[in-house]
């Protein structure tokens, strides 16, 4: 499969406050059980959005219609407040085989009542690239590029080959929270 070539982007050229922009890139989240017994598409779209913010790789938001919502449940694990987007609610991934065992807790989030500037992503879901699950994993893709997770576990951004942090790197890793 050929890789899509996208122009190089430095996260240090992204705006603050962040910008929301539609993307026609093919976004996918695919669940794979550790025992190899299950592989399932959790979400797939070419009608997503990405949020660009200084020092962060992009976060990608999927419309609810592009997500297998039978695999997700509202999470009681946490709620967070983004100064730019509003209050986030989280979602747990349940195992496709029994639809009740939580496979990944709080690894997707959405904004049910975003601030007006981000109303386009109301109820859209964003997924951490790292599921933190003992029973399986998911793989996240932008076009044909498998993403890597932004360092740390706070922001949930997706790193693809064309996204660079230069010498300063990305916010999220040890020692960067005060940036």
**Digit-coded pLDDT (tens) for 1-40:** 556 789 999 999 999 999 999 999 999 999 988 887 788 9
More confident residue, 125 or 150: 125
CB count within 10 Å of CB 46 equals 11
The domain of 69 spans 9-168
The Cα–Cα gap between 104 and 15 comes to 32
Q: How confident is the model at residue 165 (pLDDT cuts 50, 70, 90)?
A: very high
Which of the listed ranges 63-67, 77-81, 90-94, 136-140 does the model predict with the highest average pLDDT? 63-67
Answer whether residue 92 is part of any domain: yes
Examine the pLDDT at 100 and tell me if it is beyond 80: no
Is 3 within a domain? no
Q: How, if at all, do strands 48-53 and 19-23 pair? A: antiparallel
Query: Taking residues 138-156, what's their average pLDDT?
Result: 90
Asked if the structure places residue 54 within a domain, the reply is yes
* Angle at the Cα of 149 from the Cα atoms of 74 and 152, rounded to 5 degrees: 85
pLDDT value, residue 1? 52
| CA 5 to chain CA centroid, nearest Å | 21
Does residue 41 sit within a domain? yes
CATH of the domain at 27: 2.170.150.40
Distance CA 152, CA 59 (A): 14
In a domain, 44, yes or no: yes
Tell me whether residue 32 is in a domain. Answer: yes
Chain centre distance of CA 60:
5
The answer to the question of residue 59 being in a domain is: yes
Q: How many structural domains does the chain have?
A: 1
What pLDDT score does 91 carry?
Answer: 94
Question: Is residue 42 in a domain?
Answer: yes
């Amino acid at each position: 499969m050929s890789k899509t070539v996208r122009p190089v982007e430095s996260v240090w050229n992204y705006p603050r406050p962040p910008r929301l922009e539609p993307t026609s890139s093919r976004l996918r989240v695919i669940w794979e059980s550790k025992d190899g017994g299950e592989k399932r598409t959790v979400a797939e779209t070419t009608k997503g959005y990405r949020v660009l913010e200084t020092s962060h790789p992009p976060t990608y938001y999927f419309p609810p219609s592009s997500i297998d919502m039978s695999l997700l449940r509202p999470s009681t694990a946490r709620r967070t407040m983004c100064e730019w987007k509003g209050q986030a609610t989280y979602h747990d991934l349940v195992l496709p085989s029994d639809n009740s065992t939580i496979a990944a807790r709080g690894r997707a989030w959405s904004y049910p009542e975003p601030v007006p500037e981000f109303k386009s992503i109301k109820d859209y879901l964003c997924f951490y690239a790292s599921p933190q699950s003992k029973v399986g994993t998911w793989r996240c893709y932008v076009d044909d590029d498998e993403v890597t997770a932004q360092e740390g576990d706070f922001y949930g951004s997706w790193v693809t080959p064309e996204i660079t942090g230069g010498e300063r790197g990305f916010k999220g890793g040890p020692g960067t929270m005060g940036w």
